[in-house]
C-alpha cells in the first residue's frame, strides 16, 4: 500500500465507509447527436442568427459577393462606403473579391471579412478556426465583421461542427477555435446592452450556395 492509499484508507474508515472501494467506475461515453433542428436548416440558422442582432444574406454564388458588399456597406454610412477598408482573409473564396485587401486586420480597419469553417443552426453561430491564412483578429479588431459561410457547412448542433475542422493528423489542430454568436456585447454599464464593447459592433453573415471559385 502506498502512502497515498494509506491516507485515503484512514479517511474512509474515519467516515465509516468500506475500506475496499473496488474498481473505479467506467467513464460515461458522450452520446452522438442524431437529431436535427426542425424545418429548413438554413432558414433555422438565419432566424437564430437574426435573434442575436446579426444580419444575414444568402447569395447564389461567389460571383455575387462583390455587388452585395457594395450595396450592404453603402447602407452603413462608412467613409467612402467602407469598401477601401476591407481587410480580408487570404482564402480562395475571397481571391476574386475586387474590394478585398488580403491581409490580417489592423486596429484602424473599419471592416474585415473572413470565412467560417462551419456554422451552427442551433444558436446562429459561426465557427472560426485559426490557421496560417486566417487570423482570429477578424472577430476582434474591425467594427464590422463580415463572415462568409459555405451553405454546405451549416449543421444543426455544436457537436457536428467539429467534423469541419482540419484533419489533426495532416494539418495539426488549430491553435484557436471560436464560436461567434452575434456582435460583441456587454451589459456591464448600467445593465444596458452595449454593442461593440470587446469586438465588432456589427456581424454580417453571407451564406453562399455555390462556392465554386
Answer for the pair 164, 117: CB distance below 8 angstroms, yes or no. Answer: yes
65 within some domain: yes
Q: What is the pTM (predicted TM-score) of this model?
A: 0.78
7 within some domain: no
User: What's the domain count of the chain?
Assistant: 1
99 within some domain: yes
Q: Which of 14-28, 60-74, 134-148, 184-198 has the lowest mean pLDDT?
A: 184-198
15 within some domain: no
160 within some domain: yes
22 within some domain: no
DSSP category for residue 22:
-
- Among the listed residues 100, 197, 158, 122, the one whose alpha carbon sits nearest the alpha carbon of residue 114: 100
Span 189-205, pLDDT tens digits: 666 666 656 678 899 99
The 3-state DSSP class for residue 207 equals strand
93 within some domain: yes
What CA–CA distance (Å, rounded) separates 65 from 59? 7
Span 114-170, pLDDT tens digits: 999 999 999 999 999 988 878 889 988 898 999 999 999 999 999 999 999 877 666
Residue 149: which domain range? 37-210
Amino acid at each position: 500500500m502506498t502512502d497515498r492509499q494509506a491516507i485515503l484508507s484512514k479517511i474512509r474508515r474515519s467516515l465509516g465507509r468500506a475500506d475496499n472501494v473496488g474498481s473505479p467506475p467506467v467513464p460515461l461515453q458522450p452520446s452522438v447527436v442524431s437529431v436535427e433542428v426542425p424545418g429548413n436548416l438554413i432558414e433555422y440558422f438565419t432566424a437564430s442568427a437574426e435573434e442575436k442582432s446579426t444580419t444575414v444574406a444568402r447569395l447564389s454564388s461567389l460571383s455575387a459577393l462583390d455587388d452585395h458588399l457594395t450595396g450592404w456597406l453603402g447602407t452603413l454610412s462608412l467613409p467612402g462606403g467602407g469598401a477601401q477598408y476591407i481587410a480580408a482573409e487570404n482564402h480562395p473564396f475571397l481571391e476574386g473579391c475586387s474590394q478585398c485587401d488580403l491581409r490580417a486586420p489592423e486596429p484602424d480597419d473599419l471592416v474585415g471579412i473572413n470565412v467560417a469553417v462551419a456554422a451552427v443552426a442551433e444558436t446562429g453561430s459561426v465557427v472560426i478556426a485559426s490557421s496560417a491564412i486566417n487570423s482570429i483578429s477578424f472577430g476582434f479588431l474591425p467594427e464590422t465583421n463580415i463572415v462568409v459561410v459555405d451553405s454546405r457547412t451549416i449543421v444543426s448542433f455544436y457537436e457536428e461542427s467539429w467534423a469541419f475542422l482540419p484533419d489533426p493528423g495532416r494539418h495539426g489542430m488549430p491553435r484557436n477555435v471560436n464560436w461567434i454568436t452575434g456582435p460583441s456585447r456587454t451589459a456591464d454599464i448600467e445593465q444596458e446592452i452595449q454593442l461593440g464593447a470587446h469586438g465588432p459592433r456589427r456581424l454580417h453573415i453571407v451564406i453562399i450556395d455555390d462556392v465554386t471559385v
